[in-house]
Structures are given as C-alpha cells and as structure tokens.
Structure 1
Amino acid sequence: MCVRGYALYSSLQDYTCSSTDDHRTLVDYAKLKGPPECWHLFFGNAKLQVPTKDLPHPTMNPFNLWSFSSVHVYMAVIAVKAGTNATICINKFGPRLFVELQIENDLRNDIESEFTQSFGFKFLSCYSEKYFSFDFYLAPFKLTLWLGLSITLAITCAIFQAYMFVKTGEVSFTVSLSFISLLLDDFTSVPESIANGLFYRLIFTVWGPVAVLIINCYGGLLVSELNAPLESVRPQTVEDLICKSRHLLDSRVVQNISSLAKELNFESYSAYWGNLDCSTPGFCLTPSSKIDYASNDAAAEFFQSAKESFLNDKSFPSLTKENVLEWLFINPAHNTLPTGYSPQQQNYTQTKLEALVEKDIINCKEKRAYFSVVETVSAEMDFLHISCYPSKKFYVGSASWRPRRFGWEFQKVAGSTTSSGVSVVHRNLQTLVSSGIYFRLRTANFKDLSYGRKPVANDTTPSVSKTAIDGRIMTVFMICGALTLCALVALVIEGYNEFSEILNTRKDVTANEGNVLEFPN
C-alpha cells in the first residue's frame, strides 16, 4: 500500500509505501505517512515572507514590545513547533496554515477550521456633558429678548431720572431700583412725593404687569429645565447614523435592485468615489476611520469595505437589510475624510493622517464617529479617554456592524496523533484559545499599537466637579458677588449724597454762628 504525501505539484509526488497482509484496505492508512516537517503560513491570501531566521522563538516574552511585531506570527510558531518536529518554512513545500481568515459556511474536505472570534465594525464618539453653570440662567430667553429687556429697562430708568431732575433738581438711584426690583419679585419703598405723582404711576402701571409676566415665565422655564432629564440621546447603532434615505431600512419589503438604484442613484455613488471632497450637511454625523491609501486615493477603512460589497452585490436581484445599510452609509451625504485633508496633497504620512482623524474624534462639539473593528475601537477608547483626554466623554456604540466569523484554517495532513482526529498543530491552537492565552495576547497587541503615540492636543479643559468649588457653587458665588457689587455701588452713591448734605449743613450752621448780632446795652 502506498500513500502519497502532500505535494504542491503532481510532478513532485511523495509516496510512502509499505507491504502489509492486512485485508482491511485504507484502514489506518494515514499512519503510514508521518506528520509534515514544515508549514506555509498565510495571512489571508498573502504568504508570510519573513525569513525563517527572523521568526520569533517559542520561549520569547510575547508581551515585550521589542520582541516581535506580530503576535499572530508568534502564536503560529507556538502552534507549529510545540510538541512537533515541524517548523514554518518559506521555500519548501508543505501544508498551508491560514491565520485570522474569514471563515465561510461552506465546509471543504481538505480543510480544518478553528473558529476563534466574531467581530465587526463599531463606532466611537465623543460628547460634551453640560453642567449647571451661569449659562443656565441665560438659557430660558433668547439673546434678542435679553437685549430688548435691557434696552427697555435702561430707557425707562433714564426717562424717570430725567423727570426727577426736572421736578426736584436731584437724581436718586434708589427710585430706579423700584423698577428693577419687580424683576426680582420684590419691591422697594419710594418717597411719598414721587409715589403720588401721576407720571410715576403711569410708568409703574405699564411696567408692573410686564415685569410680573416676565419673571413668572422666566421662573417657570427654569423649573422646567431643572426637572427635565439630561439631553443624553446619542446614537447607539449604525442605523442611527444614517442621515439620508433612512426610511429604506424601515421598509418591510426588500426592494429589488432597480428600484433601489433609482432611490439611491448609483451613478452618483460611482462618481463620488472619484471625488471624495464633498460637504457634509450639519445634521449628518461624519464618520472617521483609519485612513489607507488605495490606488493613490485616501479612503476610510470601513468605506473601502462597504465599497467592495457594493461592487460585488449591486447586480443581485434581491437585497438584504445589511446590503441596504452598507450602501446608505457610503452615500455622498457622509463625508468619510477627516477635516483638513486635501485630495490635492499626495504626500501625507500615516502619522499625519492618524493625527487628522484624532482631531476630529476629540472635537466633542461636532458630530463625529470613529469606525473600526471592535478591538481597535476598544484600544482607541483606552488611549483617548484614560491616557490623553480624561476630561472628555467618549462612548462606544452598542451593536457591531457587518459581524463576521474569523479563525484559522489548517490543511488536512497525515500523521495525526490526537484523539479528536485533528493535527497536532490544530490541537495546539485549540489549547491557546481554550486557555485564554490567545485572546490575552490579541488584546495586548492592539493596546501596544498606541505605544509611543503622542496626543495631538493637550487636555487643557479641567474636569468639572458637580459639587466642588469649581462646579455649581461657582455660579452661586458669581450671582452673590454681582448683587453685592450692585449694592455697594448704590451705597457709595447714596452715601456720597448724604455726606455732601451733612457737610453743607455744617457749613451753614458755622456761618450763622459767626454772624450773630450783638445789641448795645
């Protein structure tokens, strides 16, 4: 009986033969061929080109940043070399080992698959949490109303002061407080000579109801704002980010390709890919992502993925909701390039592109979202929120987009020594996954991508405490200080007038004492 080992070409056949008198043909035939001496390592469809001498040693520390750049190569070396005499080869022929490949549903007889994880795209966004501040007191009324109210009050006080000066020859700031006090839901005393005047009564009759109406509306709006919940409605799923033709996702009947093409205008989509510099409406959230150069054109990572799906599926007679979502997302209404990027400039470095994307992410006042695979988003979250910008609020969407199954694929070989019937290399990978080492190394590898990375801006905004001195209490101090200042100004003005009257009275008394008449005896 002869068994042919693995050979890439038929001209290089490798047979192992043995004489046997056992009539059970093909029983234990695989034992006639020993395990392979080398494995070819592939990432996707690309074969590993690292020289054998540069491969990591199984005893190295995988958490050392300077040991080796790819943790996947390290795990492949562990899987291939642990308990075997095999190695990873480049020039020799051997079975193929595919690392982190998307696993399809169709099963092949010559391939063994090991599912490791399922992940898709997620988004990260930033928002500003508004605390109770002085702006809260200005929020109930618009700026035009505040200006109109201030001008009206100033003109009213000026007219009344002019009236008092003409009638009495004096100017008293205290009387003007009677009009201002109505806005504070209070009232001050007015001299009887002024209060009985028809002019004062006419002004007070007009101003009084207006002031009461304003103060009640203002107080009601403040109470409503205090009792209202915080504005915390934020996008949680990818569907929440669509800003044009959103109704297509809610349709119960899946549209055919012709009607969808009419609705989405596929021709504009194709033209858009050649002219990515487009404006984004203010109500649309602008997605950012890792920028890669493809055919000398910059494009977001998730945009390229959706574009490939569009080119592959746009001729299908039936569509799924996922197809529609992908095509809605590459709508020209969503500008996928970061702010400050110029298509005319072709000398961008990867560091410069990453800096542009980071500037968009940390701008919490704009509608921005960072898209990438789940693990990259998690690592970016740790870098932005924990390491560089603790004062800013970041959050990650709840659901992933375009989830896919990923894992390793092994070409079946003879010489299996495991009870489950898989190769020793396959069994070693199963051990790495079940023990948790595989996921621990992957997580650490993604976090190490930010090693040595510098933030593009300083986190100068102090973290606001809700109860500390720099939080809500600061507003109370500002109001008390403003009222105290107004009271001091009024005290100085009134005190100066009273002090002047006292001095004038003493001068008159002194002059009268010096001019006392003396009668002769």
Structure 2
Amino acid sequence: MDLRVIRHCVTLLTLYCVACETKDTIQIFKLLKGVENCDVQIVHGDLESANIQPFPNLLLPTSLIFASNFLIHRIWVGFQDWDKFAIDISKTRVSHCQLSVLFSSKFLEDGKETKFSHWTRFGTDRHFRFGKYGEEWSTSTSNTYVVLVTNYDKKEFAKVSINKYLSISSIENFGIVFNQRMNSLLELCVLRSGVMPEMQNFNCVTNMQSNFLEKFHAMQTKLQNWELTLLENTDINMPKGYKRGDIVELIKYPEFINPFDRSNINTSVHHHIAQSVFRKSNSTLSFCRSCSLMYHGEIKLDVLESIHSSPTKIQVTVGFIGYQFSSCYSEKEITFRFYIAPFQREVWYAILFGGVMVYLVMVLIVRFVTKAPEDFSIWMTVLAVMFEKWGTIPGQVEKPDYTRYLLIGWTLACLVLINLYNGLMISELNSPMARNGPEIFSDLVCSLEDAQLFHSERFKNPGERVFSKMNETLRYLDEFRVKLQYNNLELAVPPELSEIPFLEDDSCFRLLSPVLQGRLEGSLVYDFEDYLYWWYYSFRQIETLIPLRVSHNRVLLNLFHPRHARRPRLEGNPGMQDVQYATEKEIVSCGKTVFIGESPLIVAEIEYLRKRYFWIDFHKGRDVLNGGLIGWVVEQEGRIPHISRGYWAMIESGIYDRLLVEVSARKIIKEKRFLGNVTGKKISKSAMMNGGIVTLFILIFGLNLVAFENRTKINMSSKSIIAFVILMFVASVLAGKALPTPEVVAKGGFTNATITEEIADWCCPLNCPNCLCPNWSNWCYISGGLCWCAA
C-alpha cells in the first residue's frame, strides 16, 4: 500500500476517534442541576473545554483544581497544597456542604494509581483559613460528597479493584457517575456504608430526574458495622477463654441487666449502654485486640486530645477526668501560724510601721523637747499600750498636748486592733479545729530540702538549657527510674543499680493509688506510680527548661522523688488482694498517706470509706492533676449520626452521668479488700460490775477507811500507810481475776506467740468492743466471730 494512502487512513481514523470522544464527552455541570448552598470543587488531570460547556449560571462557589500540576515533583500532599485552595472565611461565606467532582479518563492505566490516589485528598477535606496568612484548619467531612466522573464502562470497572487506584477509606460519601454512550444518560452509583469499594456494593440508578444530592441521600445506607478500638477506659469484660486474635461480638445477643444492682458486679454498665445505643440503630459492635476490622466504623472512649480533631471524627464529651487525691490526714497540733492568722500580712506590716513611727516621734519629743529623765523607757511605753497596759509617764512628757494626741491616737488604734485580734483568735480556738490537711497537690510535696529538686532554680531565658547543677540533681532520678523499671518487670537489677536505695521518708506523704494487673503474668502496676514513670521519661527527652515553667510539671517532678513512697508497706511478692488490703489499712490510719486516682474513682472511694468508717472525716483535694476531657470518639459515622446522637441523648438526659456513678462504685466493690468484720468506734454500753469498775469502788472505799482512821491527824501513820498498800494489792488482785487471760480469749485459736502485728490489726477499744485484752499495749482483732489478743 502506498505511504500516502496510509497517512490518509490514519488521519481519517484520528478524526473519527476525536468525533467519538466528543460525542461521549460528559458534561459535568449536568450533575449540578438543583444543587443549592454548596461549594463545588472540580479536581481533574485532563479536563477539556467540552466537559464544562455550556457553562451555566449556577451561583455556586466553584474551584477548578488541576491536581497533576501539584504532584509532578512530590509524592505526598502537604500544607503548601492545602494553603492554595483553603477558603478565606474573611472574604466569603462557607456553605454547609461541598460537592467534589473528580474527573479523569486515564487513571486506570498502570503507574497512574499512586498519583491519582492523592486526588481524593483535595476533594475530601474542607480547608479554611482566616486572612491571607491566618492559620489553616479543616472541618467535618460528613457533608462532603465525592463523585468520580469517568468515561469508563461499568463492566470494565467491575474487573478491577478500586482500592488500587482510589484511596477512599477516609471518604464518608462516595459515588461514581458513568456515561451511558447510547442515550447520553448519566448513571449514578453510590457506595453503601461499611463495605468494600467493589462495584457489587454500589447502589445504582439511571436517568436522574430529581435533585442530585436528594438522589444521593436516597441511595445511601447508614453504617451498621462498628468496632470498639479501645477497651481500657470501659468496664466491658471479655468472655472466658478469650484470646488476643478473637473477634468478640458485643451486640449479637440482647443482654438485659439492672445497672443499679451493685450486688451483680460481674455485669458491665458500659456494655449495657452500648446495647441501648447500637441495638436501637440495628447496628453491630465488635472488638478485636490484635486485629483491625476493615470497613467498620470506629468508636472508643478516650481522653479528647488534638489527635482526635480529625474531619472524619465526631467527639461526644462525657466529662472531665484527671488525677485527684483523698485523705483523712490532718495536723493535730497548733503551730505558730495560728497566732498570726487573724491578721493578714499587710495589717501586721501596718502595725509594725505604726509602732516604729510612734517610737521615733516619742524619742524626738523626749530627747529634744521635754528633756525627760534618762530612766524613762520609751519602747516599753509603746509596747505596753499594745498589750492594754499603761506605764508611768513623766509629767513633763505627758503635759504637752501633742504628746497626748499622739498617745491617745496610738491607744485607740491598739484598743481596736487588740479586741479584734482577741475576738478572732478566741473564736477560732473555741470552734472545732479546722482541718489542716493537704488540699492541693503542691501540699503533698515533701518539705525536706533535698526532696525539692528545683526549689531555688531560676529561669532566665525561655530557651535556657538544663545546666550542670540541674543535671547532677536529676542524675539520681534517672538511675532511680531505671531501677523502678526493673522492679516493675520483676527482672534482676544490674549490679551498678543495686546500690540505689528507695529513700522513703515517713515525714513525706505516701502516694498510694489503685493497683492493676501488669502485662506480665503475676506482675502488679500501681496507677499513679506508672503515670509518674512515663511522665518523667518524656520530660527527660526535652533539653530545655521550658516545661518547668508550667507549675504542674514542677509538682510532678517533686512527687517523683523517691522520698515519696508509692506502694503500701508489704514484703515479699504480695498478691493483688494483699496490696488492696494494705492500701486501705494505711489510708484509714489517717497518717501522712493519700490515695490518688482518677476523679470518678476518688468520688466512689470516698463514698465507700465514709460508709465503712463513718467516724473518720475523709476529704478530697481541690485541684485536678493532668486534667482533660474524656468522651466517645466516633469515626466515619457519615451523614447519618445515629450512634453519636444516641450517646448525646443519654448524656443530655442525665442517664449517662448517673450510670457512671455505678461504674465507679462497682470498681470499689470488686476489690473486696477487707476480709472479716470491721466495726466502728466502741459503742457505749451500760457499765457492769466487773473489771476496772470494781477496782474503782475498792479504791474509793479504801480511801474512805484511811480518812476515817486518820480523822484527827493531818499526817498518816505508818500503820495507815501499810493498811492502804494492802488495800491496793487486794484491789489489783480482784481486778486481775475479773479480766480473762490472753489464753482464755484465744481459746480454740492462735496463741500469743503465733499472732504477728500484721495479723493483729487495730487497737482493742476501736475494733473489738467485746474484746477484753489485758491492757492497752495488746493488739486485738476479730476472726471467726471471736476476739483475739496479741502482745
């Protein structure tokens, strides 16, 4: 065939193909008929003029983004890309929805999938800024609709994996528009929620006559499959025999419980709440610790931080959480502060200044005006007036009017101040002594000088680095942290760390906290100690003093000092019940011990302790350490927020808050810390003629006999003294017979030699009203319905 003929054939074929492509061109703006109050973004890589002709007058803010231009030299999409297309809200309004159209006719080719997958980021996230150089942020994507417009046939689409070319995991509303070439109609396919992005999982409709978004909504389905991604902040229990790779269906079977029945502590209140919310919306909830459930919505109860501020996440705030402490410790003695407390510091300064001024004026009068005798003490006169006394003043000093005015004014001022001081101090002294105990976490810091690591540190510049003195001070804490890690893991401590002591001091507060099961079998983790450990680890990664400018960081650094004990007094390898028992024992002893836990747990702990030890005054600290908001984080819920709306309804009605009280109360009941019966103070009963009461009558009768025998004498004779001694001996013998011996009390049980101080719990009158131990130095406790004594 002639070369010229071949060229003509190729030219005709090319023109035919162009004509075919023009005939099959999709006019994008057909999709926008009836759309109102929406922003429009068209992200394309090979858009032609025929695709946007004729250009209608939509009155919609429209952006054309040639995405390929921004991905030639970069793989990742960064801030510079978002900043180019962020909407400046200082110049225009923001619509309540966004319609993003992705157009490309070649993305199914090999090598195009990596680049085209980034296009969805432009169309999905809505980015805004205030002003030209203002901060940029994104909003929720629940009202963002991403539509892929393509010339490819639907059958061709069904043969490929859409995930290979499109990254649609973050798209909540996704659809595809196909062009039916035979009749120039558009076919809309909407992906169902919670399924793989394959063509068989799309709902499709042809010949759209109504509003595009209305048709999109009608074809959508709500997300029904959910995954609980975090279990730690809930009280949901896993079934027996659960393994890390198992998938647990939490809503598969209905579970009806009474959440206010605290006797059934094995049931879960959070599970009951989830049953109410998810079954109402006909949804499922699953949990898998070591696997990720694809195409499931995600929900978890967690601390709300900036990491959860994603456009695809909805936050349902439940409450405020942080560390608080409870204690019954209070200082019993009166300190010098009691005497200066009636007046504030400024008043004391004014009194001192006034007294000095009166003294100086009197010195000038006496030395240079009146010429008083040298034995006249001016300062004694001024001081006597302050104590409502009046000394002798020489006549030549008292006679002038200015002296009288000066002394009268000073006397009146002192009279008012003295009566005011006496009234305030006596009222405070006669009233019940106010609690002088810790109220905030800074009150727990040890008063020992070596335990306050940076008491006198100075911060000069914001970027000042940690200098040598601070490093020397913290080096011990670094070694202490490493040794603490070995102890928590129950591993052998290296020789270079074995000499590091735990410098616990009784003059410093003991910081006890709830005990949890560690990751290793049989290991125990103390909540607040573990928190301090990880906080200090992150603190030491920073090389400047900037974190120490925050007050709670300085408090935490001092509380991490080993002068503060963070575990109860136990030896060996105690179990969890032993630790819980010892913790409660130290708390109710009202020594320098505090119990630190999360806010809801502290409220339940105080309620429990006040019921069990009603005679002890427990109080809660005023401040919250490491406080923050906690709530449910719901991800990829879509346009129909049925799950988050269910939780909001329970919170706003007050039901959720009431159920949280039950969650904390069950945590306390589950501990089962005290074994045996613990009673309160000794109950007053009618006095009986036994024991010490007999001795009292014998002593009174003996004294009357001695007084009668010596009625005519002032001094007692030797015979009378001997008689009195005999009477005392008889009284002691009778009193001894009225008291049972320790062996009698311990009949059928332990002997004194086998009872240790750890077993013998409290002093006799406080714990065993019916126990008759020989004296106050003996220990007493109840076991098996009997009172036991131990030396």
TM-score range, shorter chain: 0.5 to 0.7
2:438 partner SS: coil
Equivalent-residue separation in structure 1 for 2:213 and 2:681 (angstroms): 75
Q: 1:98 aligns with which of 284, 294, 299?
A: 299
Equivalent-residue separation in structure 2 for 1:353 and 1:26 (angstroms): 62
Which residue number in structure 2 is paired with residue 123 of structure 1?
325
Equivalent-residue separation in structure 1 for 2:709 and 2:195 (angstroms): 102
- Indicate yes or no: 2:710 matched with 1:494: yes
Equivalent-residue separation in structure 2 for 1:86 and 1:332 (angstroms): 50
Q: For residues 303 and 450 of structure 1, do their structure 2 counterparts lie closer, same or farther at Cα, with a shift above 3 Å needed? A: closer
| Alignment check: 8 A CA contact 1:32 1:415 kept | no
1:101 partner SS: strand
Equivalent-residue separation in structure 2 for 1:56 and 1:495 (angstroms): 94
Q: For residues 224 and 85 of structure 1, do their structure 2 counterparts lie closer, same or farther at Cα, with a shift above 3 Å needed? A: closer
Q: 2:482 aligns with which of 265, 271, 284?
A: 271
| Alignment check: 8 A CA contact 1:123 1:397 kept | yes
Q: 1:280 aligns with which of 477, 496, 504?
A: 504
Q: For residues 390 and 246 of structure 1, do their structure 2 counterparts lie closer, same or farther at Cα, with a shift above 3 Å needed? A: farther
Equivalent-residue separation in structure 2 for 1:482 and 1:123 (angstroms): 52
| Alignment check: 8 A CA contact 1:36 1:94 kept | no
Please list, as runs of the form range in 1=range in 2, the aligned pairs for 1:59-458 lying within 5 A after superposition.
Answer: 60-65=257-262, 66=264, 69-82=267-280, 84-89=281-286, 93-106=294-307, 107-127=309-329, 230=433, 232-243=435-446, 244-245=451-452, 248=455, 258-259=466-467, 260-265=470-475, 266-273=477-484, 274=486, 278-294=502-518, 296=520, 297-316=523-542, 317=544, 318-319=546-547, 320-342=550-572, 345=573, 348-364=574-590, 366-386=591-611, 388-414=612-638, 416=640, 423-451=641-669, 453=672, 455-456=674-675
Equivalent-residue separation in structure 2 for 1:239 and 1:8 (angstroms): 53
Q: For residues 252 and 493 of structure 1, do their structure 2 counterparts lie closer, same or farther at Cα, with a shift above 3 Å needed? A: farther
Q: For residues 457 and 491 of structure 1, do their structure 2 counterparts lie closer, same or farther at Cα, with a shift above 3 Å needed? A: farther
Displacement after TM superposition at 1:267 (Å):
2.2
Equivalent-residue separation in structure 2 for 1:339 and 1:126 (angstroms): 18
- Tell me which amino acid in the other structure corresponds to 2:440: T
Q: For residues 46 and 412 of structure 1, do their structure 2 counterparts lie closer, same or farther at Cα, with a shift above 3 Å needed? A: same
Bigger Rg, which one: 2
Q: 1:34 aligns with which of 214, 221, 225?
A: 221
Aligned length: 387
1:76 partner SS: helix
Which residue number in structure 1 is paired with residue 230 of structure 2?
43
| Alignment check: 8 A CA contact 1:56 1:74 kept | no
2:618 partner SS: strand
2:306 partner SS: coil
Equivalent-residue separation in structure 2 for 1:90 and 1:370 (angstroms): 33
Q: For residues 239 and 86 of structure 1, do their structure 2 counterparts lie closer, same or farther at Cα, with a shift above 3 Å needed? A: same
Equivalent-residue separation in structure 2 for 1:68 and 1:55 (angstroms): 19
Displacement after TM superposition at 1:483 (Å):
12
| Alignment check: 8 A CA contact 1:123 1:369 kept | yes
Equivalent-residue separation in structure 2 for 1:58 and 1:295 (angstroms): 30
**Deviation sequence 1:466-488 (CA, Å, 0-9, x none):** xx999xxxxxx9xx999989974
Moved more, 454-463 or 102-111: 454-463
Equivalent-residue separation in structure 1 for 2:319 and 2:511 (angstroms): 25
Question: With CA pairs under 8 Å and 6+ residues apart, which has the higher RCO, 1 or 2?
Answer: 1
Segments of 5+ residues of structure 2 without an aligned counterpart are 1-187, 240-247, 334-425, 489-500, 688-692, 718-791
Q: For residues 53 and 255 of structure 1, do their structure 2 counterparts lie closer, same or farther at Cα, with a shift above 3 Å needed? A: closer
Equivalent-residue separation in structure 2 for 1:99 and 1:261 (angstroms): 40
**Larger helix proportion of the pair:** 1
Equivalent-residue separation in structure 1 for 2:676 and 2:459 (angstroms): 46
Normalising by structure 1, report the TM-score: 0.62
Normalising by structure 2, report the TM-score: 0.43
Equivalent-residue separation in structure 1 for 2:265 and 2:482 (angstroms): 46
2:299 partner SS: strand
1:378 partner SS: helix
Equivalent-residue separation in structure 2 for 1:375 and 1:324 (angstroms): 25
Equivalent-residue separation in structure 2 for 1:44 and 1:491 (angstroms): 81
**Deviation sequence 1:337-394 (CA, Å, 0-9, x none):** 111243xx2xx43222211211111112x211111111111111121221x2122222
Moved more, 446-455 or 434-443: 446-455
| Alignment check: 8 A CA contact 1:128 1:393 kept | no
Moved more, 14-23 or 480-489: 480-489
Equivalent-residue separation in structure 1 for 2:205 and 2:257 (angstroms): 41
Displacement after TM superposition at 1:308 (Å):
1.8
| Alignment check: 8 A CA contact 1:121 1:371 kept | yes
Equivalent-residue separation in structure 2 for 1:463 and 1:247 (angstroms): 48
Q: For residues 483 and 272 of structure 1, do their structure 2 counterparts lie closer, same or farther at Cα, with a shift above 3 Å needed? A: farther
1:258 partner SS: coil
RMSD: 4.4
**Deviation sequence 1:110-140 (CA, Å, 0-9, x none):** 1111111111111111237979xxxxxxxxx
**Deviation sequence 1:64-96 (CA, Å, 0-9, x none):** 3538622112212211121x2222245975533
- Tell me which amino acid in the other structure corresponds to 1:334: H
2:516 partner SS: strand
| Alignment check: 8 A CA contact 1:391 1:463 kept | no
Percent sequence identity is: 17
Equivalent-residue separation in structure 2 for 1:262 and 1:9 (angstroms): 58
Which residue number in structure 2 is paired with residue 136 of structure 1?
none
Displacement after TM superposition at 1:36 (Å):
2.1
- Tell me which amino acid in the other structure corresponds to 2:481: S
- Tell me which amino acid in the other structure corresponds to 2:478: E
2:566 partner SS: coil
**Deviation sequence 1:255-291 (CA, Å, 0-9, x none):** 8562454443342342341358724212200111112
Q: For residues 308 and 326 of structure 1, do their structure 2 counterparts lie closer, same or farther at Cα, with a shift above 3 Å needed? A: same
| Alignment check: 8 A CA contact 1:242 1:328 kept | yes
| Alignment check: 8 A CA contact 1:6 1:14 kept | no
- Tell me which amino acid in the other structure corresponds to 1:258: V
- Tell me which amino acid in the other structure corresponds to 1:109: P
- Tell me which amino acid in the other structure corresponds to 1:375: P
Which residue number in structure 2 is paired with residue 162 of structure 1?
none
Segments of 5+ residues of structure 1 without an aligned counterpart are 132-222, 417-422, 471-476, 502-521
| Alignment check: 8 A CA contact 2:225 2:285 kept | yes
- Tell me which amino acid in the other structure corresponds to 1:72: H
| Alignment check: 8 A CA contact 2:330 2:436 kept | no
